[in-house]
Amino acid sequence: MQTETYIPRRLDDQWKIGFWDVDVAAPILFCFFVGYMSGSKLSFAVCMGIGIFLSRWLSRIKADKHPAFAMHWIYWCLPPNPLTTMQGTPPSHLRRMVG
C-alpha cells in the first residue's frame, strides 16, 4: 500500500497583486493615488515615475533575500509607533541576543 503523499510548498507565499508581491506593488499604488489626487497630468506622471523607481529599487534590494525582507527591514529601521510595533516580539532597540 504505497500512496504518494502530496506536501504543499506554497502555503506561506507572499500576498500578490497581479504578478507582483504586495510590498513591491505598494509604492506604485500609493504614488498612483497621490498622482491622481494631485489633479494635473504632469504631477501624475512624476508621481508614477517615482513609484516605478521605488518599486524597482525595492525589488532589486529583496532579490536574493528572505521573502519577508521588507517587513523585517521596516521593523528594524523605522521608529516604533502603534503601526510598526509587533506584539509577540521585543522592541527593535533591544539588539542583544540571548541564548
Mean pLDDT across the chain: 80
Tell me what the mean pLDDT of segment 66-95 comes to. 72
pLDDT at 50 over 80: yes
Q: Residue 66: CB partners within 8 Å, gap ≥ 6? A: 72
Burial letters 51-81, b for 16+ CB under 10 A, else e: beebbeebbeebeeeeeeebeeeebeeeeee
Q: What is the mean pLDDT of residues 59-82?
A: 79
pLDDT, average across residues 12-38: 86
User: To the nearest whole percent, how much of the chain has pLDDT over 70?
Assistant: 74
Q: Which residues contact 17 (CB under 8 A, 6 or more apart)?
A: 25, 29
Alpha-carbon span 78 to 5, nearest angstrom: 43
